[in-house]
Amino acid sequence: MTAQLIINGISLGAVYALIAVGFAIIFNILKFSNFAHGGFMTVTAYVGFLATRFWHTSLLWTLLIASLAGGMLGIIAELVAFRRIRNNKGPVIYYFVSSITLGMLLENLMTIFFSTNFYAYPNFFPVATVKVGRLLLGVPELIMFCISSLALIILAVLIYRTKLGTALRSVSYDVDTSGLMGINVLRIIQLAFFLAGFLGGISGVFLGISYTLYPQLGQLVVKGFIASVIGGLGSLPGAVIGAFLLGIIEILLIRLVGSGISPVFIFVIMLLFLLVRPRGIAGSHIQEKA
């Protein structure tokens, strides 16, 4: 029984990890919490839905279309909401307000265009569950876990093994110096937004599949936030670890106290965790520079 719960928790955690990493990439580069990430997920979930509705795409194509749309959205978001602030060297607070505003804007645009109706993705999976030994595995969850893990592994290779990734890491370490070293900072920031949007697209479709589609879907981004707080703000491995932990804790809590009240317990756990280990599991201390 416990093994079953933990497996369910891990597959839930994989989706949370996508959200948390997409969020952490932006945090790493520009040092602010990107509240527009939920908006990215909502929009891409609808884009994926429209693709299935009009072109009857398979799961992989849906994912690809949605995540490319997410990537484009990320680049547009950077242009519309963040570029001028960066050029003006505005304080971090402005990025922050800008991202909150953008998130609200996207959510409300979705409400206007699609009303508050609920839509459902078509069923991509012919078989709902498979039995491995005594464990019952849900096929959608299993596939989500595989695709999420694959996306995260590719991302890790990109960040830690390629030249582009080195540039990304150096910009996240120090924007000005890496600019002096001949890195095109603007391109790297665009890349970061593209990656964040791309991951947001995958998670948007997955959330759309697991829940139904409604304009406030993006508010599930709170799970990603909690995961990155637990993991340590700005740390990519931390975000992944935090997300898996959160997934397991959440599944256990749903079993123990029910799904309605579990957010309260998760919140309390997060507070206690911050009391004990303020920087999260893997977080390095980010000192605000004078």
The two structure tokens encoding residue 186? 């603007």
**Contact between 32 and another protein per CB under 8 A:** yes
**Contact between 286 and another protein per CB under 8 A:** yes
Rounded to an integer, what distance in angstroms lies between the CA atom of residue 145 and that of residue 13?
8
Binding residue (CB under 8 A) for another protein from 58, 108, 129, 162: 108
Binding residue (CB under 8 A) for another protein from 6, 61, 68, 90: 90
**Contact between 81 and another protein per CB under 8 A:** yes
CB of 84 to another protein, least distance (A): 4
Residues 170-229 that bind another protein (CB under 8 A): 219, 222, 225-226, 228-229
Binding residue (CB under 8 A) for another protein from 157, 256, 278, 284: 278
CB of 224 to another protein, least distance (A): 10
| R_g of the chain, CA atoms, integer Å | 19
Determine whether 177 is exposed, middle or buried from the number of CB atoms within 10 Å of its CB (0-12, 13-18, 19+): exposed
Show the DSSP H helices in the chain as ranges.
2-30, 37-55, 59-77, 83-87, 92-114, 139-161, 163-173, 175-180, 185-210, 221-231, 236-257, 262-276
The tally of CA atoms less than 13 A away on the side-chain side of residue 117 is 7
The two structure tokens encoding residue 163? 């030249």
Rounded to an integer, what distance in angstroms lies between the CA atom of residue 83 and that of residue 283?
27
Q: Which stretch binds another protein (CB under 8 A): 93-101, 158-166, 174-182, 242-250?
A: 93-101
CB of 221 to another protein, least distance (A): 9
Q: Which is nearer to another protein, 147 or 270 (CB)?
A: 270
**Contact between 119 and another protein per CB under 8 A:** no
Rounded to an integer, what distance in angstroms lies between the CA atom of residue 272 and that of residue 164?
38
Binding residue (CB under 8 A) for another protein from 50, 72, 104, 158: 104
Q: Which stretch binds another protein (CB under 8 A): 12-20, 82-90, 132-140, 238-246?
A: 82-90
Is residue 9 within 8 A of residue 172, CB to CB? The reply is: no
The owner of tokens 């709170």 is 222
Report how far Cα 185 is from the mean position of its chain's Cα atoms. 23
> By rule CB under 8 A, what count of residues binds another protein?
53
**Contact between 102 and another protein per CB under 8 A:** yes
**Contact between 275 and another protein per CB under 8 A:** yes
Report how far Cα 266 is from the mean position of its chain's Cα atoms. 18
Instruction: Please report, as ranges, the residues that interact with another protein according to CB under 8 A.
Output: 27, 32-33, 35, 80-81, 84-85, 88, 90, 92-94, 96-98, 100-105, 107-109, 112, 219, 222, 225-226, 228-229, 233, 258, 260-264, 266-268, 270-272, 274-275, 278, 286-290
